[in-house]
């Protein structure tokens, strides 16, 4: 990706300001601060993604001004920080749609919210045909203005990554011949166009219908590691799945089960070469968590699982991280701050202890 080009995609941030938070393993990591980034009274916020620009500015994009987790409303918004997340701008509403859905029009939602029916009726066949799907949209000025949206096959909450060879790689859920796939798309022109280059085969004992919301990272040696949300009916088996590629994304191993319970994943390669995954845990104790691999995803230190922030209930998650210049990590996510409120955008600033 050329310098100055920003790409945000398919994105779809519990406690008050504090200096410390109980850790699952205090020998591994230390939480420096957990706080609310943005809260909108009576409105629902969810599904953030964070990135750091070439100039060091932090940008967080999320879905705001919603009625609920599933509703016909909401806008894509962005906040900025010029001081490593200490302070944030007021949200700017972006005139973009990351992906579109008619899930709110299902009877189970309309029966609970009959006022949404009128909104569904206003979406005519032409509008539905034109805009249903997965999209990316580029900005050449750090998110101030945006080019026309580009439709593509795959979708995932945290979008594509930039590879060392300059390509953009996007691992997501898609379709081929009307069948669900775990697809791999690439762009060789900074996101102007996309090409489906590969599909990832799942473990024989798994079902493709339970696979969702993957993310991928490129290790220093060029190996690619992708992780997937796996959510079968038996919720005790919601362990992240993983696949690897050693040829730039052309071929992939079959997915395999990891020891990490939670979803969805966001991967980040740290400056020391370790691989970090953050994820939400929607069972008691509800929380945002992290896990480390020191061997390129071959093994995960689940015995040293890190709790970044406790939560009040299971409406939480979609954490995403960046590593700051001083080596510490900033993770953003969404969850409830106070009882009786709807979800808000939050962050945890933390660091790994030397060990």
Q: What tens digit of pLDDT does each residue of 71-112 get?
A: 777 788 999 999 999 999 999 866 343 455 555 567 776 677
Residue numbers of the chain with a pLDDT score lower than 50: 1-4, 8-24, 95-98
The pLDDT value given to residue 70: 79
| Residue whose token pair is 């993310």 | 215
Token reading at 321: 């991280």
Alpha carbon distance 149, 7 (integer Å): 11
DSSP labels, 223-234? -EEEEEEE--SS
The pLDDT value given to residue 126: 65
Q: Is the separation of the CB atoms in 322 and 48 below 8 Å?
A: no
Residue 323 CA to chain centroid, in angstroms?
16
The pLDDT value given to residue 284: 97
Of 273, 4, 325, the residue nearest 143 (C-alpha): 4
Residue range 269-320, pLDDT digits in tens:
999 999 999 999 999 999 999 999 999 999 999 999 999 999 999 999 999 9
Q: Is the separation of the CB atoms in 151 and 133 below 8 Å?
A: yes
Residue 173 DSSP code: E
Question: For the CA atoms of 119, 121, 122, 123, what is the dihedral angle to 10 degrees?
Answer: 100
The pLDDT value given to residue 118: 67
**What pTM did the predictor assign?**
0.85
Q: Is the separation of the CB atoms in 132 and 100 below 8 Å?
A: yes
The pLDDT value given to residue 140: 82
The pLDDT value given to residue 27: 82
The pLDDT value given to residue 105: 60
Show the domains of the chain with their CATH numbers: 6-13+15-352 (2.120.10.10)
Residue 113 CA to chain centroid, in angstroms?
28
């Amino acid at each position: 990706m050329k310098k100055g080009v920003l790409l945000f995609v398919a994105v779809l941030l519990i406690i008050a300001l504090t200096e410390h938070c109980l850790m699952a393993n205090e020998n591994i990591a230390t939480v420096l601060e957990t706080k609310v980034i943005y809260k909108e009274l009576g409105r629902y916020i969810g599904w953030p993604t964070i990135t750091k620009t070439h100039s060091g500015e932090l940008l967080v994009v999320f879905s705001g001004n919603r009625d609920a987790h599933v509703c016909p409303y909401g806008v894509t918004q962005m906040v900025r920080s010029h001081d490593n997340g200490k302070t944030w701008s007021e949200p700017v509403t972006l005139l973009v749609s990351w992906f579109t859905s008619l899930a709110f029009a299902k009877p189970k939602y309309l029966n609970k919210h009959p006022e949404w029916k009128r909104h569904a009726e206003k979406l005519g066949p032409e509008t539905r045909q034109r805009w249903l799907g997965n999209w990316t949209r580029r900005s050449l000025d750090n998110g101030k203005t945006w080019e026309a949206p580009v439709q593509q096959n795959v979708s995932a909450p945290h979008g594509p990554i930039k590879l060392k060879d300059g390509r953009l790689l996007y691992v997501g859920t898609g379709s081929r011949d009307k069948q669900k796939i775990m697809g791999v798309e690439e762009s060789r022109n900074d996101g102007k166009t996309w090409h489906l280059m590969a599909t990832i085969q799942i473990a024989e004992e798994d079902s493709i219908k339970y696979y969702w919301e993957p993310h991928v990272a490129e290790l220093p040696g060029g190996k690619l590691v992708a992780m997937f949300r796996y959510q079968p009916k038996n919720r005790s088996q919601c362990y992240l799945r993983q696949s690897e590629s050693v040829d730039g994304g052309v071929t992939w191993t079959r997915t395999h089960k990891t020891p990490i319970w939670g979803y969805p994943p966001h991967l980040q390669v740290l400056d020391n070469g370790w691989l970090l995954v953050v994820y939400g845990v929607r069972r008691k104790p509800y929380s945002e968590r992290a896990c480390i691999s020191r061997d390129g995803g071959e093994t995960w230190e689940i015995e040293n699982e890190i709790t970044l922030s406790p939560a009040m209930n299971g409406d939480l998650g979609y954490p995403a991280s960046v590593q700051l210049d001083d080596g510490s990590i900033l993770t953003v996510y969404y969850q409830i701050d106070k009882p009786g409120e709807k979800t808000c955008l939050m962050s945890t600033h933390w660091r790994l202890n030397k060990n």
